[in-house]
Copies of this chain bind each other. A is one copy, B any other.
Amino acid sequence: MMTGMKNEEQLAHIRHTLAHLTAAAVLAFWPETKNTIGPAIDNGFYYDFEFPAGVTIGDKELGKIEQKMRELLKGWESFSHKEVTETEAEEHFKDNPYKLELIKEIVSKNEKITLYTSGAFTDLCRGGHVENPKKDIDSKAFKLDRVAGAYWRGDEKNKMLTRIYGLAFQTKEELEAYEAQLEEAKKRDHKKIGKEMGLFVFSPLVGPGLPLWTPKGTIIRDLLDKYIWELRSAKGYQKVTIPHLTKKDLYETSGHWQKYADDLFKIETREGKTYVVKPMNCPHHTQIFDSEPRSYRDMPQRYAETTMVYRDEQSGELSGLSRVLSITQDDAHVFCRENQIEQEVFSIWDIIDQFYGTFGFKDIKVRFSRHDPEHFEKYLGTKETWEKSEGALVKLMKTRGVEWTDGKGEAAFYGPKLDFIAKDAIGRILQVATIQLDFNMPKNFGLSYTNEEGKKDDVVMIHAAIMGSIERFMATLIEHTAGSFPLWLSPVQIKVIPIRENYNEFAKEVSDQLKAIGMRVDFDNSDEGLGKKVRAAKVEKIPYWLVIGDKEVEAEMVTLESRDHGQLGHISLPELIAKVSEEIKEKK
Contact = CB atoms under 8 A, between A and B. Distances in A.
A241 B267 contact: no
Given A238-B218, A265-B267, A270-B262, A284 B212 contact: yes
A316 to B, nearest CB: 9
SS class, residues of chain A in contact with chain B? mixed
A271 to B, nearest CB: 6
Nearest to A307: B308
A60 to B, nearest CB: 37
Determine how many copies of this chain the complex contains: 2
A247 B284 contact: no
A265 B308 CA distance: 17
Interface in A256-297: 262, 265-271, 273, 275, 277, 283-284, 287-288, 290-292
A78 interface: no
Q: Name the residue in A201, A206, A213, A268 with the highest tally of chain B Cβ atoms < 10 Å from its Cβ.
A: A206
Q: Name the residue in A211, A273, A277 with the highest tally of chain B Cβ atoms < 10 Å from its Cβ.
A: A277
A239 B222 contact: yes
B238 A206 contact: no
A310 B245 contact: yes
A340 interface: no
A246 interface: yes
Contact of A288 (B201, B250, B265, B268): B201
B205 A246 contact: yes
A214 B243 contact: no
B308 A244 contact: yes
Contacts of A246: 205-207, 210
B215 A303 contact: yes
A326 B218 CA distance: 22
A572 interface: no
Q: How large is the interface on A (under 10, 10 to 19, 20 to 34, 35 or more residues)?
A: 35 or more
A584 to B, nearest CB: 18
Nearest to A222: B239
Contacts of A303: 215
A198 interface: yes
A277 B268 CA distance: 12
Given A212-B242, A267-B266, A310-B244, A250 B205 contact: yes
A325 B207 contact: no
A279 B494 CA distance: 38
A204 interface: yes
Nearest to A203: B287
A136 interface: no
A207 B245 CA distance: 9
A85 interface: no
A248 to B, nearest CB: 9
Given A249-B204, A314-B270, A315-B271, A291 B243 contact: no
A221 interface: yes
Contact of A239 (B218, B238, B275, B284): B218
Given A207-B247, A287-B206, A310-B245, A212 B198 contact: no
A430 interface: no
A285 to B, nearest CB: 8
A201 B241 CA distance: 11
Nearest to A303: B215
A217 interface: yes
Interface of A: 198, 201, 203-207, 210-215, 217-219, 221-222, 238-247, 249-250, 253, 262, 265-271, 273, 275, 277, 283-284, 287-288, 290-292, 303, 308, 310, 312, 314-315, 325-326
The 3 closest A-B pairs by CB, nearest first: A243-B326, A215-B238, A213-B241
Given A203-B290, A205-B247, A205-B253, 14 more contacts: A198-B292, A203-B287, A203-B291, A204-B249, A205-B283, A207-B249, A212-B242, A212-B284, A213-B240, A213-B242, A215-B239, A245-B277, A267-B277, A273-B315
